[in-house]
Amino acid sequence: MTLPSTADVVVIGGGICGLAAARELAARGAGRILVVERGYPGAGATGRNVARIRRMQLTEELCRVAMACQDKYERMGGELWSNVLFYRLGYAWILYEPDEVDRMREVVAMHARLGIQSALLSPAETLHHLPVFEGGEPVAGSVLSDDAIVHHDAVVWAHLDHLGRVAKDTVSVHPHTNVTAIERDDGRVQAVVTDRGRVTTPVVLNATDGWSTEVNAMAGVRMPNRPRRREVLVTAPLRRTIEAAVTFYRPSEGWFNQTLRGEVVMGAVDPDEPVGVNQRSSWAFLRRTADLMTRKAPTLRDATVIRQWAGMYDITPDHLPIVGPTAQLDGWWQATGWSGRGMLLAPYLCELLAEHLVTGSPPEMLRQFLPDRFAPADDGERTETDYYARYGSALASARRGPASTSMSPGNTTSSPGA
């Protein structure tokens, strides 16, 4: 099937980001919108993540954004009239080092101010709530919130279904369509060339996350976000046992949670994962994850791995996404660099992006994510891998006490990865 020869907006990438953007643009009457996707809808990181929708973040700015994002998900089922299986499973940071516990006291106080339900649990309370850790490495405590999970695929289908029903005349989604070139002239986007034809358009949205560097390069746009592989494994279904989505950052980063069907999904992060698109699974990942999980939660030794896969994180130097237009090329919009939080952030931030595109000025909350906070010369090599270090400056100011409440949204962007 060939594509129409013109469109008002071409969205490159048919994952949660591209589909959410199409939905929001259509709702605002942005004209004819074309979504082109190289594989099937949700083929990239959207279909490969574990869809944790977490408000509980380490900085106040991120918490505020994440709260809006979670609200968006909570409403999504009703708005799109498709169940996305939004479920408050609970979310726990498991802490292994005493200084982590000290940091978290302030974080939990900050959560309380914002109205996020979180609590700092003692080691005994942690084991009581999450007995899966019994017999494992001694925990120093945990932070538990009432955060949620959704079903990533259901989110994609909810959007597709909705677009097919409500925006049939304005939005068309074209799977298995490869973008081969971007035409530009006088600093403006002219057209998107695909293997199914050329589309003239004044606006292109790059929503390709892990592949965005590649797509940006076609348009001659330089951004510092770089793709890195993350891997996941899933076990055969087990009776409900683990009553929270679990993450730990130190001394090594790992996570697991049980899905509604009972499977346990888990992963252990390789801090030395090289830059580059790579969706192949590795044996080293299985070994690393088995080692880490059976040490921390020996109960999991009897869980049976039945499948593993890999997906891409598109990581920016400050671990915040890149959302909006750029001065480098007129008409070139981006919603990329999700840094592993695309599932959480994309639906809401794409709403803000659509607002920006239609009204011409960015909503306040979008400002911290605008692409031009990075200089075109940024090479992306400053990426901070230690989780807490990324939030070093914000946490330090949080420690100074109530002063942090007066921090204006947007000021973390000036200290990327500090």
Q: Which residues bind another protein (CB under 8 A)?
A: 39-43, 47, 77-78, 81-83, 85-88, 131-132, 134-136, 153-154, 157-158, 161, 164, 175-176, 235-241, 259-262, 280-283, 286-287, 289-291, 293-295, 298-309
User: Which string of DSSP letters, residue by residue, matches 336-404?
Assistant: E--TT-HHHHHHHHHHHHHHHHHHSS--GGGGGG-GGGS-TT--STT---SHHHHTHHHHHHHHT-GGG
Task: Name the minimum Å distance from CB 132 to another protein.
Answer: 7
**Tokens at 86, concatenated:** 């939004």
Task: Name the minimum Å distance from CB 115 to another protein.
Answer: 19
Residue closer to another protein, measured from CB, 153 or 378: 153
Q: How far apart are CA 16 and CA 14, in angstroms?
A: 7
Residue closer to another protein, measured from CB, 241 or 393: 241
How far, in whole angstroms, is CA 289 from its chain's centroid? 22
Q: How far is CA 100 from CA 58, 127, 146, 182, 255, in A?
A: 12, 17, 20, 47, 17
Task: Name the minimum Å distance from CB 211 to another protein.
Answer: 17
The bridge status of strand 179-185 relative to strand 188-194 is antiparallel
Residue closer to another protein, measured from CB, 157 or 388: 157
The bridge status of strand 197-200 relative to strand 188-194 is antiparallel
Residue closer to another protein, measured from CB, 48 or 356: 48
Tracing tokens 């599932």 back to the chain, one arrives at: 343
Residue closer to another protein, measured from CB, 46 or 201: 46
Residue closer to another protein, measured from CB, 161 or 253: 161
Task: Name the minimum Å distance from CB 137 to another protein.
Answer: 9
Q: How far is CA 383 from CA 57, 331, 378, 390, in A?
A: 19, 28, 11, 9
Residue closer to another protein, measured from CB, 266 or 370: 266
Residue closer to another protein, measured from CB, 307 or 382: 307
Task: Name the minimum Å distance from CB 101 to another protein.
Answer: 23
Task: Name the minimum Å distance from CB 76 to another protein.
Answer: 10
Question: Which helix (H) or strand (E) segment is 29 a member of?
Answer: none
Task: Name the minimum Å distance from CB 36 to another protein.
Answer: 15
Q: How far apart are CA 58 and CA 104, in angstroms?
A: 9
Tracing tokens 């408000």 back to the chain, one arrives at: 55
Query: How many other β-carbons are positioned within 10 Å of the β-carbon of residue 240?
Result: 11
Quick check: 353 and 24 in contact, CB under 8 A? yes
Task: Name the minimum Å distance from CB 107 to another protein.
Answer: 26
Picking from 335, 409, 294, the residue whose alpha carbon sits closest to that of residue 19 is 335
Residue closer to another protein, measured from CB, 40 or 99: 40
Residue closer to another protein, measured from CB, 20 or 158: 158
Task: Name the minimum Å distance from CB 152 to another protein.
Answer: 9
Which DSSP symbol is given to 245?
Answer: E
Task: Name the minimum Å distance from CB 110 to another protein.
Answer: 26
User: Which string of DSSP letters, residue by residue, matches 162-195?
Assistant: HHHHHSTTTEEEE-S--EEEEEEETTEEEEEEET
**Tokens at 4, concatenated:** 């129409």
